[in-house]
Amino acid sequence: MDLGSRLAGKHILITGASSGLGAHFATLCARHGARVTVGARRKEKLDDLVAELTYAGAASARAVSLDVTDEASVKACFDALDAPLDTLVNNAGIALSSMAIDTPLADFDAVMTTNVRGVFAMAQEAGRRWRDAEQPGNIVNVASILGQRVAGGVTPYAISKAAVKQATHALALEWARFGIRVNALAPGYIETEINAEFFATPPGEAMIKRIPMRRLGKPEDLDAAFLLLATDAAPWMTGTYLPVDGGHLCSGL
């Protein structure tokens, strides 16, 4: 089955697309001829990305300013869409690292507000627009294997990603009646802006050794799973949490 061809002409909205995995997913969708709308706070970065997406083959590429922590910005983003949406990719996320005992509560709030409330707010706005639609869309939440197992120094992040996993199951249950599917992609450690510094440290290098496949993931290692969830290739698949992690979740104890 050619999953990529199912994206042609589909309208995909990707949050937090100014860097890392979001920019990668946007480029993947563009290469397959999707209409891609990218949202993030750093709009000047998105303008460059839009030019790249157009060059890559997007049916159309647009940037919208979006702060997922801001209710008005979330609504404005959906109002700014120029065509019915097929897929929302909830990719925006932050990971502030510190030991739990020293973590300022303001950092805890920031992680929760972005990673959990942001995902919920975006999904809710999409769900409201799709509820009575003839062709409702689907949602891909970018979770993390840290929502299922734990590592030191990222407790609020791990809590937030566990919440994203559970939000995926709960929303899938409530919205199956509307034909809205909600799934989660749970990457293992992929080298991007969010973690590059950490993997250059001795604990980071030690962690790579504990990945059964003995390497970090590359963004393209996620492509097949992303396409499965973001397209209509698996129309009976909802509430699924799909880890792609080089075997990290089944590393030996």
* Residues noted as catalytic: 157
Among 69, 138, 168, 231, interactor with ligand NAD by CB under 6 A:
69
Burial 22-49 (b: 16+ CB within 10 A, else e): bbbbbbbbbebbbbbbbbbbeeebbeeb
Among 87, 114, 138, 183, interactor with ligand NAD by CB under 6 A:
114
**53 vs 154: CA distance, rounded Å:** 33
CA-based max dimension of the chain: 53
Told to check if 46 binds ligand NAD by CB under 6 A, we report no
| Contact criterion met (CB below 8 Å) for 184 and 142 | yes
Told to check if 47 binds ligand NAD by CB under 6 A, we report no
Among 63, 88, 92, 230, interactor with ligand NAD by CB under 6 A:
92
Told to check if 19 binds ligand NAD by CB under 6 A, we report yes
**113 vs 109: CA distance, rounded Å:** 6
Told to check if 220 binds ligand NAD by CB under 6 A, we report no
- Of the pair 59, 89, the CB lying nearest ligand NAD is at 89
Told to check if 15 binds ligand NAD by CB under 6 A, we report yes
Helix (H) or strand (E) holding 195: none
Residues of the shown chain interacting with ligand NAD in the complex, contacts defined by CB under 6 A: 15-16, 18-22, 40-42, 66-69, 91-95, 114, 118, 142, 144, 187, 189-190, 192-195
